[in-house]
Amino acid sequence: MVDNIGPKYIIKVYNHEFGVHGVLVIDNTKLGPGKGGIRMTPTVGEEEVGRLARAMTYKNALAGIPFGGAKAGIAFDPKTINPKSADADRVKKKIVEWFARELRPLLFKYYIAGPDINMTEKEMAIFVRAVSNKRTATGKPKHLGGLPHELGSTGYGVAEAVKIALAHKGIPLAGARVAIEGFGNVGVFAARFLTEAGMKIVGISDSKGVIYNQNGLPWKEVLKVKKVKGSVINFLNSEKLSNDRIFTLPVDVLIPAALPDVINASNADQIKASVIVEGANIAVTPEAEAKLLARGVLIVPDIIANAGGVISSYAEHRGYSAEKMFKLVKQKITKSVTTVLAESQKTGESPRVVAIKIAKQKLF
C-alpha cells in the first residue's frame, strides 16, 4: 500500500543467531511519531505489518491523538520454546533486545513501540531497558511509569463500541448474545466488561478450539481453566466445537479478537451475527465485508472499535493515571463510534468508508 499517505519508512532486519526476521513500517508521521505495537508470530511479514500500520494511521487520526501510524513484527513463534526450559526466557529476551537495538535510531522521534500479539508489559520492559529510554515504548509495567495493556484498555474500548452498535441496531443490551474469537488480552477484557453490562457470552475460542453454551459462559471461570490447563476447551460446562464454528454461532454480536483476515469469503455467508465489532486489527477482509454489508450486518471497524489500546498509550505518554485513562477511552470511543455510525446511516456509506474519510480529513 503506497500512496500520498505513506509509508514513510520500511525497515527490515535479520537475526542470524536465531534465524529471525523483523520488520517495522512507519506509515505516516504528520500528526506525531508513528505509534503501533510489535507482534510476535511465525507468519508476520511486511505486507501484514504494512496494512496494520495504515490502520494505525487512521486509528490515531480518528482518536484525535498526536501520533502517526506504525506497526512492527518479529517472525518468531514463542510457543516453540519449551516453557520449562531454562533457556526459554533468555531466548525471547535476547530477540526483543536485538529488535529494540536495531530500531534504536528511529525510536521516540519516529516510532514509539507497544505490546501486541505475544508481547506484554514484560517485553516492553525488556525493550526500553535495551535502549535505556523509557519513552521509546508504552504498555510498560507500572514501576516503569507505564499503563500496561493488562489493565484492559483495548477490551474496555471494544465493549463500549459494542454497546453503541447494539443501540444503533435497536438490540437490547440485557441478554444480548456474544461470541468472542480469541481469549487473550482483548477477548478476556471484552468478556468482562460486556458481562458487567448484562450481556451473555455464549461462545469463546482460542487456538485449540471453541466452547459454546447458549445459557452463557462465566468468563472468570473460563480464564482460570485456560491459565491452569492451557486452553478454554478444557472448560467442562460447555459444548466443544472446531475453531471455525466460532464464526457461525447464533449470536447478536461477533467479536474477532485475535488474528487478521479470519472473517473472509469462505465463512462470510455462514455468519449469523447482526453486529461485528473488530477487536483485532484487519480481522474482516474487504470481500467478506462487502458480502456482510449487503446482508445488513453492522460492522464496527478496527480503526474505531479497538482504539482503546492506543488511547491508553497516549494517556501513558502524558503521564495520566489509570482512572483518567479509562475516562479518556470511554470519551473518545463513544465520540468516534457515534459519529461514524450516524454519518454512515445518513450517507449510506459503510462505517469503514466513513471512518477513513474522517481520518483523511485530519491527515491532509
Catalytic residue chosen out of the listed positions 8, 35, 59, 71: 71
CA–CA distance, 187 with 259 (Å, rounded to integer): 12
Q: Which of 305, 51, 270, 67 is nearest to 165 (CA)?
A: 305
- Residue-wise pLDDT tens for the chain (364 aa)? 799 999 999 999 999 999 999 999 999 999 999 999 999 999 999 999 999 999 999 999 999 999 999 999 999 998 887 766 668 788 999 999 999 999 999 999 999 999 999 999 999 999 999 999 999 999 999 999 999 888 999 999 999 999 999 999 999 999 999 999 999 999 999 999 999 999 999 999 999 999 999 999 999 999 999 999 999 999 999 999 999 999 999 999 999 999 999 999 999 999 999 999 999 999 999 999 999 999 999 999 999 999 999 999 999 999 999 999 999 999 999 999 999 999 999 999 999 999 999 999 999 9
d(CA 268, CA 128): 41
Tell me, yes or no, if 71 is annotated catalytic: yes
Neighbours of 168 (CB within 10 A): 18
How many Cβ atoms are within 10 Å of 11's Cβ, its own excluded?
A: 16
The structural domains of the chain, ordered by start, are 9-57+68-143 (3.40.50.10860), 153-307+335-360 (3.40.50.720)
Query: E strands along the chain, which residues?
Result: 9-15, 20-28, 34-35, 38-41, 68-75, 111-112, 177-181, 200-206, 209-212, 239-241, 253-256, 275-277, 298-300
What are the CA-CA distances from residue 228 to residues 83, 139, 222, 282 (Å)? 14, 25, 10, 31
Q: Note the Cα 91 to chain centre separation in Å.
A: 25
Quote the pLDDT of residue 1: 72
Residue keyed to cell 499517505: 5
Q: What pLDDT, on a 0 to 100 scale, did the predictor assign at position 149?
A: 81
Cα–Cα distances (Å) from 134 to 71, 119, 140, 195, 277, in that order, read 19, 17, 8, 35, 33
In terms of Cα–Cα distance, which of 188, 194, 333, 193 is closest to 251? 194
The cell numbers describing 47, all together, are 505486507
Sort strands 177-181 and 111-112 into parallel, antiparallel or unpaired: unpaired
Can you give the pLDDT at residue 345? 97
Helix (H, G, I), strand (E, B) or coil at 187: helix
